[in-house]
Amino acid sequence: MSVQQVDGPRSWYGQQRRVNCSGRSIVALRPSAILLVAICASSEVIAQNGTADGVRALVRGDYASAARILKPLAETNHDADPIAQFFLATIYDRGHGVPPDQIRACGLYLKAAAVPNALAPQAAALAEKLMTPLCLTARDTIWGEPSAATFTLGPEHWVRNDHDGFVVGYKGVQKRAPMNWGGPGLLFLPTRYTRVGVTRPAAMERHFVEFFVWMPAMNHTPRQWGLIWFVKEIVGADVREVAGDGPVQEIVAEQPSTGRDTEQYGVIRVNADGEVERVFFGDKPHTIVIPPTSDQ
Amino acid sequence: MGRHLPLLVVAFVVAASALQAQTSTADGVAAFVQGDYERALGILKPMAERAPGQGEPTALFIMGILYENGLGVPRDSVRACALLTQAAGAGPFGHQAAVLFMALQSSFSADDRDRCMLLARLGFDHRFEPATFTFDVGHSIDFQFGPKGVVTTLTYQGREKRIDEGIPPPGTVFLPIRQTDLAAQPAPRHFIERPMWIAKGPGTWALFWNVVEIVGDKFGGGASVELMTIVADRPPGDIPDIRNMAQVRLTDSGQAEWVVTTGPELRSELIESIAEREEMKEESRRRRELEASVDWTRRRDGSRPPELAPADADGCGNVFVFAWTPDRMEVISIRADKGALGLSTTPQTFSLAQHPGRLELKAHVFSSPQRNWRFCSDSRVLPEPAEESWIATSGTVTIELSPPGIRVRSPHLYRAIIRITDAEFVGPSGTRLRQTRPIVLTAIVGGGGG
């Protein structure tokens, strides 16, 4: 399998910080639902068995299995295990088998440091090394990333996205495009696939994978959310950037709706000239034409 | 295909043992995750606390956390720091170990930082036991494990001499320090024996035996001898009976000697007396002083007549004695054939004119100061300096030898005392020069060279 590097949505954090953070007085949100400390004995035993299995995999160097086992134990609103959080943090800290993600690692370390446990002092010391304002957001929220989805684009042509990026299958060849696209407090709406039949510059089908993500503002009460729409075009085995990625809508709400109807925010369709256009229905309705990529 | 089979088997065995090692580390870490610290310690401690550089990184990391947090063991942040230092940079938690040991160090006092580095470099199984030995009232020696290694304090007549020995070789395992007193004449002699295991390589350990004499506030003669080598992960836990392998003792003639009674190298050596050691030190001190006073840049006429006023004699062979003037630009040499002349402890007087070839007296004149000379030395400075030789053709020489044994470790050496009077020297151009003052040369001879 070959590998292609694709830009992730991380740049929006910077934009959001510029928009929402005034000077240095960044106050992290403290949402109501974090780290339930009261853990009943039976579930603790179950959770720790799972953590031990994950850590065994980690020690053996099987980082993919370790991350798969530890994630649900660490990144949950309910009975999160600080030991699982610590060890999952070490995986992201240096990028063992995953793209390194110090914000995610730092948030997990801080969570692991927040309740008494065998690794709390070390978690605190390690978080201190990675501390940024986003780390506090990561501590106070659940890490959001798109759920896995697979779409068939045509015969011998498919795309799968998971936590770590895309895999495109094209004429029997698989190509991976890793992406660092999760983030603290992000709420991913269901991933959408749109196929558009164009006539210009030539008759063909174009394939778009679309993500709608609610991103919490860091220092606003009541809580503010911005909806980010980002799109990737699949061209053969490649994943291409698409113009127009960015905010669609802002709302004030404790929790935005995560319903399946993303078409109220924007659609990709063919226009009267036979080209692809990206139509924004949000706060500032507008339309942009998506030009064909160079080799189409 | 057939000839690849052994390789495949080896690869399989290696892979299987690697898998096994990883599995047991994973078992230990899983026990830690489940809060079973006793089991975690049982598995991880032996994997972590090997000789430096040989610990398993993940085991070191978890052990560091157990000691830092006091889980299943008494809290010990210095030991935690040392474990994390060894864990740093390797294994899945190498980065975290590095961050944590630096965080720990930054919270430490200077002494604790040193202790951490000492443990990290020396290892966790050094088995050093502090000890104090008393020789006499107000005369004692004390061994402690300080932040930077073993600290020796020698107390004599109310004064303390402190020696920081620094960090021993990585992996060193100390055995108990012992005092041995010998009932020598005229006074007892005191020795300290310090056996230790030194890592010679992965899984190989050498037992070294170090012995040193304590003389007042000074350290006297001694030895460092390798007694045996073993193949083992760690040196054995029991203390070997060193006395069956090596000891200091008195010879029948009352001299101190160390002797190795086991292993491939059975040997013994006499240990200098206090007086002899002091005399040797005094002699080398005097030589250093004389050399320090020389103006090495000075130049003189190489054709000048010799001054015949030497300051310092040395010698070798049977018998060759030479002596420099203080400016190092002239040397007087005398060669006397001990056997042919029948030299002995009784002073004997010879006429230079009557023993050509068996008794030879010369003065050598140089135009610049000489650091070395070609006699009684293995070293040569090339090109050899130009010299003008003045040969004595007449005069009287009295030679007296001491009995051999003036250097206990070189028993064949003896002292020659040579008195020269009324000698006449002939220079290269036939110039004659008569000695006006008597010359007395005293030197230890009998060694090689000449």
Q: Are B110 and B99 in contact (CB under 8 A)?
A: no
DSSP code per residue over B74-85: ---HHHHHHHHH
Closest CA to B63 of B21, B32, B98: B32
Handedness of CA A274, A276, A280, A281 (dihedral sign): positive
Does B61 lie at the interface with A, CB-CB under 8 angstroms?
no
> Phi then psi for A54, rounded to 5 degrees?
-65, -40
Q: Please tell me the distance in Å from A126's CA to the nearest CA on chain B.
A: 7
How many Å separate Cα B335 from the centre of its chain? 35
* Count of beta carbons in the 10 Å neighbourhood of residue B65: 25
> A282-291, B261-270, B330-339, B353-362 — which is least confidently predicted?
B261-270
With beta carbons under 8 A apart, name residues in chain B contacting A52: 30, 33-34
Pairing, β A173-178 against β A2-3: parallel
Alpha carbon distances (Å) from B285 to A56, B119, B292, B331: 67, 39, 11, 21
With beta carbons under 8 A apart, name residues in chain B contacting A51: 33
Nearest to A83 among B33, B96, B99 (CB): B33
Q: What pLDDT was estimated at residue B78?
A: 95
Question: What average pLDDT does the structure give for chain B?
Answer: 87
- Which one is predicted more confidently, B140 or A162? B140
Interacting residues of B222 by C-beta distance below 8 A, sequence separation 6+: B191, B210, B211, B212, B213, B258, B271
Q: What pLDDT was estimated at residue B396?
A: 94
A129–B99: do the CB atoms touch at under 8 Å?
yes
Q: Please tell me the distance in Å from B19's CA to the nearest CA on chain A.
A: 8
Match 């350990």 to its residue by tokens. B205
Per-position pLDDT tens, chain A of length 296: 676 655 555 555 544 433 332 222 223 333 332 322 222 333 334 444 599 999 999 999 999 899 989 999 999 888 899 999 999 999 999 888 888 889 999 999 999 999 999 999 999 999 999 998 888 888 888 888 888 899 999 999 999 998 778 999 999 999 998 887 788 888 999 999 999 999 988 899 999 999 999 988 766 677 888 899 999 999 999 999 898 888 898 888 888 887 768 889 999 999 999 999 999 998 889 999 998 876 65
Q: What pLDDT was estimated at residue B350?
A: 93
Q: What pLDDT was estimated at residue B11?
A: 42
Q: Are B365 and B302 in contact (CB under 8 A)?
A: yes
Q: Please tell me the distance in Å from B140's CA to the nearest CA on chain A.
A: 46
Q: Indicate the pLDDT class of residue B256, thresholds 50, 70 and 90.
A: confident
Q: What pLDDT was estimated at residue B378?
A: 67
B33–A51: do the CB atoms touch at under 8 Å?
yes
Q: What pLDDT was estimated at residue B23?
A: 54
Query: What ipTM does this complex have?
Result: 0.76
Interacting residues of A261 by C-beta distance below 8 A, sequence separation 6+: none
With beta carbons under 8 A apart, name residues in chain A contacting B90: none
Closest CA to A89 of A73, A108, A75: A108
B32–A128: do the CB atoms touch at under 8 Å?
no
Interacting residues of B262 by C-beta distance below 8 A, sequence separation 6+: B227, B228, B244, B245, B246
Phi-psi domain of B412 (left: phi exceeds 0; alpha: psi -120 through 50; beta: other): alpha
Q: Would you report the helix, strand and coil content of chain A in percent, each value rounded to 5?
A: 30, 30, 40
- Enclosing H/E stretch for B139: strand B139-146
* Count of beta carbons in the 10 Å neighbourhood of residue A47: 20
Q: What pLDDT was estimated at residue B58?
A: 96
Q: Which residues partner with B267 through β-bridges?
A: B260
Beta strands in B375-438 (DSSP E): 388-401, 414-426, 432-434
Chain A residue with minimal CA distance to B21? A60
Q: Would you report the helix, strand and coil content of chain B in percent, each value rounded to 5?
A: 25, 35, 40
With beta carbons under 8 A apart, name residues in chain B contacting A131: none
Residue B426 in this model has a pLDDT that exceeds 90: yes
Q: Which residues partner with A167 through β-bridges?
A: A160, A176
Q: What pLDDT was estimated at residue A260?
A: 66
Q: Indicate the pLDDT class of residue B406, thresholds 50, 70 and 90.
A: confident
How many Å separate Cα A163 from the centre of its chain? 7
Tell me the mean pLDDT in the region B204-212.
Answer: 92
Q: What pLDDT was estimated at residue A15?
A: 47
Q: What pLDDT was estimated at residue A222?
A: 74
Q: B interface mutation test: which of A55, A91, A92, A128 has the most B CBs within 10 A?
A: A55
Alpha carbon distances (Å) from B443 to A76, A157, B285, B415: 91, 100, 16, 6
Tell me the mean pLDDT in the region B121-134.
Answer: 91
Q: What pLDDT was estimated at residue A27?
A: 30
Q: What pLDDT was estimated at residue B1?
A: 40
Q: Are B108 and B102 in contact (CB under 8 A)?
A: no
A49–B34: do the CB atoms touch at under 8 Å?
yes
A83–B23: do the CB atoms touch at under 8 Å?
no
Buried b (16+ CB within 10 A) or exposed e, A97-123: ebbebbbbbbbbbbbbbbbebbbbbbb
Q: Which of B48-52, B121-125, B241-245, B359-363 has the highest mean pLDDT?
A: B359-363
